[in-house]
């Protein structure tokens, strides 16, 4: 999935940090929150979910933490546009 994100988001709008120190390896992505970038990421998440690559989505923004595994593409887009959003994809 990381390669897909790198392919659709311009390189100057994306930073990727891969943590290989923990037992479970994961990547953290920081993306410039433009309308186009958020739309592309929301679309990709929906496709990956339909293909069974995503089991769980957790949204965090400030004190708000909630499971958004069933969120629509528009809901994902709206969440991604909010400042300081963290979306955990598992």
Model confidence over 51-74: pLDDT tens digits?
Answer: 999 999 999 999 999 999 999 999
Residue ranges making up the domain that contains 61? 2-89
This prediction has a pTM of 0.87
Domain count across the chain? 1
Instruction: Give the integer Cα–Cα distance in Å for 72 and 57.
Output: 12
Q: Model confidence over 31-48: pLDDT tens digits?
A: 999 999 999 999 999 999
Give CA–CA dist 28/20, Å, rounded.
11
């Amino acid at each position: 999935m990381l390669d897909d994100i790198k392919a659709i988001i311009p390189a100057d709008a994306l930073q990727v940090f891969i943590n290989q120190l923990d037992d479970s390896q994961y990547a953290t992505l920081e993306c410039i929150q433009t309308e186009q970038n958020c739309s592309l990421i929301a679309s990709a998440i929906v496709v990956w979910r339909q293909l069974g690559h995503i089991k769980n989505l957790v949204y965090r923004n400030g004190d708000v933490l909630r499971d958004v595994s069933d969120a629509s593409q528009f809901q994902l887009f709206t969440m991604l546009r909010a400042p300081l959003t963290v979306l955990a994809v598992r």
